[in-house]
Amino acid sequence: MHRNPLILLLLLVTLSCGGDRPTLSTNEGGRISGTIFKGRVSGATVRAYRLNGLDRGALVGNTTSADDGTYVLEVGASEGPLLVSASGGSFVDEATGATIQLNADELTTILPRFSPGTQEAGVLLSPVSHLATALTLYLVRTERSEILAASDEAWRHLNGHFGNLDWRHSAPTDVTLSTSSQLDASAKAGLLLAALSQEALIAAQASGRTPGGPINPMALTTALYNDLVTDGLFNGVGAQGQLSIPATGADAWRLTGQTLRFDLATALAKWLQSERNTYRVSFKDLEPLIRDLSNNSNSRLFAEAGGEYDNTPPVVTASFRFKSTTGATVTAPSAPPRYVRGVLELEVDLLDASQVRSFTVTQEGRALTPATQGNTSTHYVGTWDAAATQDGELVFVVTAEDGVGNRGETRLAVVVDNTAPSINFTAPLPAYYSQTVRVEATAADSTSGLQAFTAQGLAGFVDDDSQAVSSIRGTWTIPADQVDGKAVLALTACDVATNCRTQEVSIEVDRTPPALTLIQAPPRYTADVKTAFAIDVTDAAAGVKRVIARTLAGTELPSTVADVPGGKRFTFSNVDLGLGLNTFTVTAEDLATPPNLTAAPLVIKVGRDNVVPTLSIEAVPSYFDERTMTYGVSSSGVPLVPAVYKWPGGTQRSAVLAGVSDVWKRVNRLSGGPSPTADELENDNAYNVPFVTIGVPRTEEESPITGLSFSADITCTGCSFPAATGQLLPSTRTSTSSTYYVLPLTAETIPALRNLPATAATVHLTFTATDSVGNTGTISRDVTVHLLGGLLQYVPVTTYAAEQDPASIYTYGGSRYGSLFTSSGSLRVAKYLIRNPAPYPVPLRVFFTGSWRLSETWPTAITKLPAGSSYMLDGFTFNPVEYWTSSNATSSYPCGGLAGAATAQFPYHTAGSSTRYLCGSLPTPTPETLSAVPSFGKLLAGSPGASTWGSGYWVPAASATSPGELVLYVQQIGKPTSPFTYNWNGSTYVRWIQDFWKWTNGTVPNTNNLCGTPNAGPAPSFCAVYEAHRVNASLSVARHVAQIDLRLEALGSFDPGSITGEAVPVGTDQVSNLEHVF
């Protein structure tokens, strides 16, 4: 009995091998039945062994398979796990048709669970089940797996590799008999077993062995079993090392990691081409299975990753290179026909998934000259000299075989063409051309054919027959920038093999018309009735053909012709002139094809003129009326320096004489600046210069104006000035029908303007225009010029009182108020600022009237004097408390009657009185008012050193960035008077009015003659008590009220010290009640 060296496995199982194979447990003996496939094995001895661990134990049953490979095995009361094996017998090899004996080779399967009395049917034995046995035993032995788990894992991996089907239940179809095309699990199993036979056939052929001999499917199955059971991998390595069939010998076929992947996939593909195959499926049907076999990278079965299936010979990629006639490297097309020339360089690259085993490159059996370096097993470069080869086809053959025996032959055909095309030239002919050149030519090539037929040298030439490669027909339009001279047309014809031929023809380009030079010019304007002129005509290329001179009416002028260097001279004499403009046009032609005609005729104009120039005043806005002119101020309200003048929004410039006849300008802005130009005046006009624009209409028939002069006479009351004369400025305004001139009305053009009186003046202007022939024309107009005074800022200082000017009345407050009545009387009551932003002083005229008054309010108050010692007033002694008789005696009361009587008058003493007591009613507090009304003052210039003129002042000019400033004050003349003295008590002014004694409504005993002894009668028994009270007045309010009427006017001054111009208002201040309360 054959035994494998196995490690003892102590495992008892009670069930069958798993899956859904039908099992039946009975009280009878156990039975195992099924089929043996490789094809169907007949006459095989089938045995069942009890597994003791991994060793085969007792034989529990044996039988012989039937002719169809089925068997029934009685195992009695045996209990699993069981090993079922088949050996001996025979089967018909699918690939060769030979009968193969199993002999000692086995096909096995393991039933990991088997209970006594089990009826196990459908147990299939095949090469795949045999490999499952090998992997199960390996897993149990090396990984200590339970036999059931090891068996399930083994079947899972092998089922996955062999078609992804369940080999325990899929009975393989006999694909040497069945003609079905259904690709089910059984069909896949049959095809894979056939592929295993096909692989053994391929191995036998590769080893030079007889098919079906020592290298047969069962020998291959046994070797694969030994491969897997050793290390659990299909890698061609067994217990003794490399596995081969047969085991020894130089020609033995070796197993590898690809035996059941790429090699089996290849065998399956070749089986489809076998005459033994009756199953009707195509490679496309089996391609997924074939590729899965080859690609499988299951690490449980294989040590290395799988690879793509390959059933094709190496792919050949080739390219031919050669040198063109210009020396450039040309690569021939990848597909035939490939036209080549000269020495060929053939580059071959081979690509195959199974690597390239070998290849050769030949031409009719002869090897090419290989490159000295760079050639490899998949890359080849060689050369072949086709320069001496007759034009025609040349074939190269590449024979290549890949690593799995796919062999192929690739034919690479080229067509040799070493002959350049021919060219036939019919146009153009050598000549002078001015506009177009006709080109006509054809080309031909008998071998590779024309690739291109082109024309060079003529920029912009277009082939009208561009669809036909063999011909060029077109007209070259000579470009505008083409330089005169020789132009070379080069026609180049190239064939597909890059053989080229070039043929040239030269022409002369003459696009330049004859040149006309006016040698003797007629006068542009004249009074004569005839004229003459002469013209030189030159043409450096084709030469001069003719010259034509005509009037506008088309009359051709006769001429005489004489040769001059480079051309001819044409003289035109005694040419009649009509009144007005006479125009002559002169053109010339040369001898080019077609003739060049002078592009623009030479135009000669002669004006016969006797027309007097006419002048007009043009309505051109020139300046802004300066009556409404204002100045720009800073954020604090102070005029900006340098002065920035502006006008109210919407103000438009005035057109002098054409729009207005009055000009309003400030005296000190008469200057137009240094040398003003018409362009400056008509655009920026920075000095706001009024100017007059004169237009002189003219036509081409009239001679040009040679000058325009003016005369300015000034008329005004009480003045006499010489007339101003000069030339007007040419205007920058353009017109085809008129010429314009500008006269600025400034102190520079009319100097007398600076000396005008304070009233407006009339300026009488006369303008005279003279043309080049001597004709003159005039025009006169009057303009009234108003010269205005300077532009000043008037600022009443409303906060003057807060400035506490020591020279003002506003500092006489508090204890200083009394000094007001002893002051000089010249005290300021108002202040004004006059500012000048201009760089020149401005005369200011002042008009003023006004008055002032002072009033006081003194309310009185009564206070009781404190008791104490007596006091003196006006030389009299008084007591704070007096006791006067009130009964029983003649009264000593100073106001008569008894003291204390209800009707009694009260005694008092008034300040300054020479009487001790006066009698009267009790006083009550009342206010008193004191008024003083002196004379009124005048205006004074408040700035030290201010300059005056007549009855006015000069407002200084601006300096640096500050405006000139004049300060004016309203100053009272005279001081107020008062009838009393002012006494300051530390908080206010107080004035004593009187003391009076008031009865307290009480009496006291006349003890010790307190109220005196009566003159007669009994002494009084009681005294009335009187207390002293004082009446004082205190100053509560003192009011200073001024009445002001102020008016300021500015005049002008062109020269230092002079006063001129019309007065303009500067500011007014009319105040009827300017009050100050002390």
- Alpha helices by DSSP H, listed for 618-769, are 678-682
Convert the pLDDT of each residue in 1008-1038 to its tens digit: 777 766 555 667 778 888 899 998 888 888 8
Considering the domain architecture, whether residues 386 and 438 belong to the same structural domain is answered as no
pLDDT of residue 75 exceeding 80, the answer is yes
CATH number of the domain to which 541 belongs:
2.60.40.10
Considering the domain architecture, whether residues 55 and 125 belong to the same structural domain is answered as yes
Tell me whether residue 1030 is in a domain: no
Q: Phi-psi bin for 232: left (phi > 0), alpha (psi -120 to 50), beta? A: left
Where in the sequence is the domain holding 968, given as residue range(s)? 793-855+934-977+1038-1077
pLDDT of residue 367 exceeding 70, the answer is yes
Residue 39: per-residue pLDDT: 87
Cis peptide before 337 (omega within 30 of 0): yes
Convert the pLDDT of each residue in 764-790 to its tens digit: 999 999 988 888 999 999 999 999 988
Tell me whether residue 868 is in a domain: no
Considering the domain architecture, whether residues 199 and 51 belong to the same structural domain is answered as yes
pLDDT of residue 376 exceeding 60, the answer is yes
pLDDT of residue 904 exceeding 70, the answer is no
Considering the domain architecture, whether residues 630 and 746 belong to the same structural domain is answered as yes
Convert the pLDDT of each residue in 333-366 to its tens digit: 888 889 999 999 999 999 987 889 899 999 888 8
Tokens 């593909």 belong to 269
Considering the domain architecture, whether residues 583 and 620 belong to the same structural domain is answered as no
Phi, psi (degrees; rounded to nearest 5) at 930: -115, 125
Helix, strand, coil % over all residues of the chain, rounded to 5? 10, 45, 45
Tell me whether residue 1010 is in a domain: no
Considering the domain architecture, whether residues 115 and 213 belong to the same structural domain is answered as yes
Bridging pattern class, strands 432-433 and 500-509: parallel
Query: Which burial class, exposed, middle or buried, applies to 798 when counting CB atoms under 10 A from its CB (0-12, 13-18, 19+)?
Result: exposed
Residue 321: per-residue pLDDT: 94
Structure tokens at 12: 């008892």
Considering the domain architecture, whether residues 529 and 562 belong to the same structural domain is answered as yes
Confidence bin at 23 (pLDDT 50/70/90):
very low
Residue 690: per-residue pLDDT: 96
- For residues 337 and 415, give the distance between their C-alpha atoms in angstroms, rounded to a whole number: 7
Residue 245: per-residue pLDDT: 94
pLDDT of residue 929 exceeding 70, the answer is no
Considering the domain architecture, whether residues 73 and 201 belong to the same structural domain is answered as yes
Span 838-865, average pLDDT: 86
Residue 1016 DSSP SS3? coil
Considering the domain architecture, whether residues 697 and 578 belong to the same structural domain is answered as no
Considering the domain architecture, whether residues 476 and 586 belong to the same structural domain is answered as no
Tell me whether residue 999 is in a domain: no
Residue 846 DSSP SS3? strand
Confidence bin at 835 (pLDDT 50/70/90):
very high
Residue 528: per-residue pLDDT: 85
Q: What is the mean pLDDT of the chain?
A: 88
Report the candidate in 518, 511, 499, 471 with the shortest Cα–Cα distance to residue 595: 511
Query: Per the confidence metrics, is the pTM higher than 0.75?
Result: no
Tell me whether residue 15 is in a domain: no
Confidence bin at 580 (pLDDT 50/70/90):
confident
- For residues 953 and 833, give the distance between their C-alpha atoms in angstroms, rounded to a whole number: 13
Considering the domain architecture, whether residues 649 and 629 belong to the same structural domain is answered as yes
Confidence bin at 387 (pLDDT 50/70/90):
confident
Tell me whether residue 345 is in a domain: yes
Tell me whether residue 19 is in a domain: no
Span 952-965, average pLDDT: 92
Least confident of 89-93, 630-634, 892-896, 1060-1064: 892-896
Convert the pLDDT of each residue in 229-269 to its tens digit: 999 999 999 999 999 999 888 889 999 999 999 999 999 99
Convert the pLDDT of each residue in 112-127 to its tens digit: 999 999 999 999 999 9
Residue 6: per-residue pLDDT: 32
Is the CB of residue 1026 less than 8 Å from the CB of residue 1000? yes
β-bridge partners, 845: 952, 1049
Report the candidate in 416, 420, 346 with the shortest Cα–Cα distance to residue 388: 416
Residue 9: per-residue pLDDT: 28
Tell me whether residue 72 is in a domain: yes
Looking at 493, 509, 525, which one is the last position of a domain? 509
pLDDT of residue 928 exceeding 80, the answer is no
pLDDT of residue 156 exceeding 50, the answer is yes
CATH number of the domain to which 774 belongs:
2.70.50
Convert the pLDDT of each residue in 446-493 to its tens digit: 898 898 999 998 988 888 887 788 899 999 998 988 888 999 999 999
pLDDT of residue 12 exceeding 50, the answer is no
Looking at 468, 492, 509, which one is the last position of a domain? 509
Counting the structural domains of the chain, the total is 6
- For residues 548 and 601, give the distance between their C-alpha atoms in angstroms, rounded to a whole number: 10
Residue 68: per-residue pLDDT: 95
Residue 890: per-residue pLDDT: 55
Residue 83: per-residue pLDDT: 97
Q: How far is CA 177 from CA 126, 162, 180, 186, 275, in A?
A: 19, 22, 9, 14, 12
Considering the domain architecture, whether residues 40 and 174 belong to the same structural domain is answered as yes
pLDDT of residue 944 exceeding 70, the answer is no
Tokens 């600046």 belong to 673
Best-predicted range by mean pLDDT among 78-92, 365-379, 917-931? 78-92
Looking at 398, 416, 434, which one is the last position of a domain? 416
- For residues 408 and 1001, give the distance between their C-alpha atoms in angstroms, rounded to a whole number: 163
805: DSSP letter: -
Report the candidate in 982, 1014, 734, 985 with the shortest Cα–Cα distance to residue 858: 982
pLDDT of residue 7 exceeding 60, the answer is no
Residue 754: per-residue pLDDT: 83
Tokens 């409303």 belong to 798
